[in-house]
Each structure stands twice: as structure tokens, then as C-alpha cells.
Amino acid sequence: MSDYRFLLSGKWLGFFALACAAAAVSVYLAGWQMDRNDHLVGENAKITRNYRAEPLTGNEAAAQFAAHDPTLTWHPVELTGEYLAEDQVLVRNRPQDGRVGYEVLVPFRTQAGDVVVLDRGWIPTGSAANGMPDEVPAPPTGQVSVTARLRPGEPAVDRGAPEGQIATIQLQELQERWDRPIGTAAYAEVFAEDPAPAVAPAPAPEPEIDSGPHLSYSLQWYAFAALFFVAYGYAARQQARNDAWDRQYAAEMERHLSQFYDEDGNYVGEGEEELVIRQMEMADDMPAHLKSLMRPKPQRRRHRPTWEEEEDALLDAFEDGVMDGTENRTMSPAAVRAMD
């Protein structure tokens, strides 16, 4: 494990912390996508279970508008009563079949006296420049039996609408608008009326059962979380291998340079030192961390002897002169001054 001691350095600890942070974010995003997938799976299950179920009737049906059970969304209900057509409103900006139009909302009073909100269906915008519908089909008069599917109310939006229109099916706002008690827990989308009118809005299309790409996105984020650590491990392995190669190369270069330089850095090779230095200059094309291994510090060439070398030479000359009795002849004036 000594090859991996660099993992305790500040740089590599920072890399590890970065990998942990990136993995944590990926796991969070994976969980978020999984929650969205679970929500859609639950919605699909409700559509499959409730859409074509036998309708709820009587008090059981009316109770859903006052306290809606979310598990019964899309479940049919059967109500008998009368439309309060004078309070009809249009919900604007509702697309269907590639066209923009309106949904027609009408309050409905049941035989028990409860008032609920019914969505009679969709109508397109008209040909006029103002975007209003050409005609709004009137609801049947008198006592009517309707079959509709339960839907929860929509959230409020910060958007206005012209007179007779609303921007969203916010049931509390409708209660204030109509100034009468209504069921504010749910409304219902009508798909059958008895007696049937001659002209009626288009019923809402059947909802699609589709979970979307959320599950695959979640799995991708989990994979990313694991890949951050795989990348960290791979980078650490490569660093350890590079360090081993550098140590091996340094040893080879030390062996190679020992042919030309002694332990003190003095050139002892045969031939010109310039050739060795020129060979070392080829290291300029190598990575920076190898250049110091390839290029030893050459000995500085001296163009003139130092004072120490001149003094040693003078002493040698003096000793040679004493030995042969010619010291006065062999010593130069500079040597004599040096001896003084």
C-alpha cells in the first residue's frame, strides 16, 4: 500500500471529497426521479382500476365532492339533479386534439340539495378574432341524470381571465365566485347525460397510461454516482503506475549518468562533456516531472584558475625548486609575492 500514500495528500483528499459530493448529488437526483416514477405508476394504477369501474351512486357519490378519496380519482359517479346554467363559466386555454379551446363548467344541484361542479366537456375557439367560442352548447334543462369521472381540483394561478371565464379549476375560487356552498374537494368530468342534448361539448379524452423516462433517468443517476468512484479509483491506479514508472526511469538514468559523473557531480566520462549535455537537452520534450531526472547539473567551466589553485601551483613549484637547488630561478615574481 505504500504506492498509494499519495492518497493522503491534500490534493487527493480533495478529489475524494469532490467524488463524494458528486455522488451524493447524483443519488439525490436519482431518488427524485424515482419518486416521480412512483407517482406516475400510482396514477396509472388508478386509471386502470377506476376508469371503467361501476359508478358510485347516491350519498356515496355526493360525498366524494365534499371529502374526496384520492384513490378514487377517475372513478365514475352517477348523479341526478339539475344544472344551474345561469352560473356557467368557461375555463380558458385548454388544448385538445391540437387545438386550443375551453372547458365548460356548470354547477349541478343534486336531489339531496348538494351543489357540485361538473365539467361538461371541451369546445374549440371560434373563427372570430377575439378567440371566443362561436357557440356554447346549453346543458339539458329540468331533471338530468349524469355520469362523470371524479377529478381533484386544480391549484390557483396568478392569472386573470375575461368576464365569464376562469384560468383554472380552483374550486375555492368558484365557491366565492358563485357565492354559494359547493363541494370543494373534487369536481367531475361528464361523459354521459340523460336526457342527452342535441349538441354537447366534446368529452375529455381517455388519459394515457405512460410512466415516462423517469425510471431510466433514475438508474442513470445511480450509475453516475458509482462511476464517480470508479473514475477516482482509476485515476489513483494510473497515478500509482506513473509514479512506479518514474522511479524505475530515475534509477535507469542514475545508472546511465554514473558513467559520466562521480558522486560529487564531477565529469569523469571519456570524450567531451558537451556531447553528454547535448544528449541531456533532449529531455526538453519530456514531461516536466522527468526533466530534472534527465538533466544533471553540469560542472561550470572555469576560464581562469582560482586563487587557491594558483597558490597550490606556486607551492608545488617552490618545493620542486628546493629539491634541485634552483628555487630562486624557478620562482616567478608572482610566486615570490605570493610567498610573502
Mean pLDDT calculated for residue range 148-154: 96
> Which H/E stretch holds residue 56?
strand 56-57
Domain boundary among 162, 194, 226: 194
Query: What residues make up the domain containing 97?
Result: 55-194
Confidence of residue 280 (pLDDT cuts 50, 70, 90): low
Is residue 181 one of the residues assigned to a domain? yes
SS3 77: strand
Is residue 264 one of the residues assigned to a domain? yes
Tally the domains of the chain: 4
Q: What is the dihedral of CA 223, 224, 225, 231, to 10 degrees?
A: 110
202-245: pLDDT as tens digits: 999 999 998 899 999 999 999 999 999 999 999 999 999 988 88
Is residue 202 one of the residues assigned to a domain? no
- Give me the DSSP letters along 84-103: -GGG-EEEEEEEETTEEEEE
Mean pLDDT for the chain? 85
| Cα–Cα distance measured from residue 149 to residue 132, given in angstroms and rounded to the nearest whole number | 27
Question: C-alpha grid cell for residue 132?
Answer: 371566443
Confidence of residue 298 (pLDDT cuts 50, 70, 90): very low
Residue 327 confidence (pLDDT): 46
Mean pLDDT calculated for residue range 182-211: 94
Q: Does residue 24 surpass a pLDDT of 90? A: yes
SS3 106: strand
Residue 330 confidence (pLDDT): 45
Q: What percent of the chain has pLDDT over 70?
A: 81
Examine the domain organization and report whether 331 and 243 are in the same domain: no
Confidence of residue 317 (pLDDT cuts 50, 70, 90): low
Examine the domain organization and report whether 69 and 188 are in the same domain: yes
Is residue 263 one of the residues assigned to a domain? yes
Position with higher pLDDT, 116 vs 283 = 116
Q: What CATH number is attached to the domain comprising 115?
A: 2.40.50
Q: What's the one-letter identity of residue 225?
A: A
Q: How far is CA 7 from CA 18, 232, 235, in A?
A: 14, 10, 11
Is residue 142 one of the residues assigned to a domain? yes
Confidence of residue 285 (pLDDT cuts 50, 70, 90): low
Q: Does residue 319 surpass a pLDDT of 90? A: no
SS3 150: strand
Confidence of residue 292 (pLDDT cuts 50, 70, 90): low
> Which H/E stretch holds residue 121?
strand 115-124
Examine the domain organization and report whether 214 and 275 are in the same domain: no
Q: Does residue 296 surpass a pLDDT of 50? A: no
Question: C-alpha grid cell for residue 91?
Answer: 375555463
- For 184, other C-beta atoms within 10 Å of its C-beta total 19
| Cα–Cα distance measured from residue 166 to residue 156, given in angstroms and rounded to the nearest whole number | 10
| Cα–Cα distance measured from residue 253 to residue 244, given in angstroms and rounded to the nearest whole number | 14
Residue 289 confidence (pLDDT): 54
Yes or no: say if 3 and 243 are a contact pair by the CB < 8 Å rule. Answer: yes
Is residue 200 one of the residues assigned to a domain? no
| Cα–Cα distance measured from residue 71 to residue 64, given in angstroms and rounded to the nearest whole number | 11
Mean pLDDT calculated for residue range 127-131: 71
| Cα–Cα distance measured from residue 124 to residue 215, given in angstroms and rounded to the nearest whole number | 36
Is the dihedral angle over the CA atoms 90, 93, 94, 97 positive or is it negative? positive
Residue 272 confidence (pLDDT): 78
Examine the domain organization and report whether 266 and 145 are in the same domain: no
Question: C-alpha grid cell for residue 283?
Answer: 529531455
**Helix boundaries (H) for the chain:** 10-50, 58-66, 171-178, 214-257, 273-280, 288-294, 307-324, 327-330, 333-339
Examine the domain organization and report whether 221 and 311 are in the same domain: no
Is the dihedral angle over the CA atoms 303, 309, 311, 312 positive or is it negative? negative
Q: Does residue 300 surpass a pLDDT of 80? A: no
Residue whose entry in the numeric block shows the C-alpha cell 339539458: 140
Residue 67 confidence (pLDDT): 94
Confidence of residue 337 (pLDDT cuts 50, 70, 90): very low
